[in-house]
Amino acid sequence: MNAHEIDYHIYGEEMQYVEIELDPQEAVVAEAGSFMMMDSDIKMETIFGDGSNQDSGVLGKLFSAGKRLLTGESLFMTAFLNVGQGKKQVSFASPYPGKIVPIDLSEKGGKFICQKDAFLCAAKGVSVGIEFSKRLGRGLFGGEGFIMQKLEGDGMAFVHAGGTMAKKVLGPGEILRVDTGCIVGFSQTVDYNIEFVGGIKNTVFGGEGLFFATLQGPGTVYIQSLPFSRLASRVWAAAPKGGGKDKGEGSLLGGLGDLLDGDNRF
């Protein structure tokens, strides 16, 4: 598999976007909704699956699209092809505050495993599939980390990390324990499993979930401080309840108002 060779530049701090430079006849594929802007002479085309095996016939296309469906993504992706004579640019934006992480698959042994919603875009030729769990515990209790995506090939891919991104290089046998939602991705040499938190107080009152992920080296791990699920839950918890009546967040009057209105959901 030979992916297109692309050049890129990442702009911004909190809300980043990546600008990809395409030579004539070079292309990049992206998830729906990540497109930001592009030069003229770049042709957009909706493709079935991930675009890595478009010449493999109907069965190959169906298999490629089916893998994406299992990860909760759309059956289709968008390809951006430079049909002009000179270099052209196309840009893709991060979906929420965080960092865009460039992954050179040729330096990762041709494979990188990431959260199912972390993938942003990649050079055409990179395969976007699923990484099934081979362990019962990971499959039953992995939660957000149960079904992971795998990026395969020899080109550039870009994933998104929410909040602040931490890069950890683990030595052989070195173990890192992480909240399952905070994992962005890791190299294929990293062993990934689910571990029970343990302890009655931790289980009942800890508020951090019953399980966390254990990542054992050697390999590189990327961690995010703000997974989208955590951001969404905080936004939902802070949203006005009871028809949008704002009686003062966190105030005694607000609490009494909720009781009087019957909005006493505990």
pLDDT score at 184? 92
Alpha-carbon gap, residue 172 to 2, rounded angstroms: 30
pLDDT score at 252? 47
Residue type, 175: I
**What angle (nearest 5°) sits at the alpha carbon of residue 142, between those of residues 139 and 143?**
115
For residues 61 and 82, the answer to whether their CB atoms sit within 8 Å is: no
CATH architecture entry for 7-234: 4-Layer Sandwich (3.60)
Alpha-carbon gap, residue 203 to 248, rounded angstroms: 33
Can you give the pTM of this predicted structure? Answer: 0.76
For residues 124 and 29, the answer to whether their CB atoms sit within 8 Å is: yes
pLDDT score at 213? 84
Q: 142: Cβ–Cβ under 8 A, 6 or more apart, which residues?
A: 133, 180, 194, 211, 213
Please give the backbone phi and psi of residue 93, each rounded to the nearest 5 degrees, phi first: -105, 150
Residues of the chain with confidence (pLDDT) below 70? 1, 49-75, 132-146, 197-210, 242-266
pLDDT score at 96? 87
Q: Is the dihedral of CA 205, 211, 212, 214 positive or negative?
A: positive
Q: 64: Cβ–Cβ under 8 A, 6 or more apart, which residues?
A: 48, 49, 50, 52, 53, 127, 129
pLDDT score at 148? 82
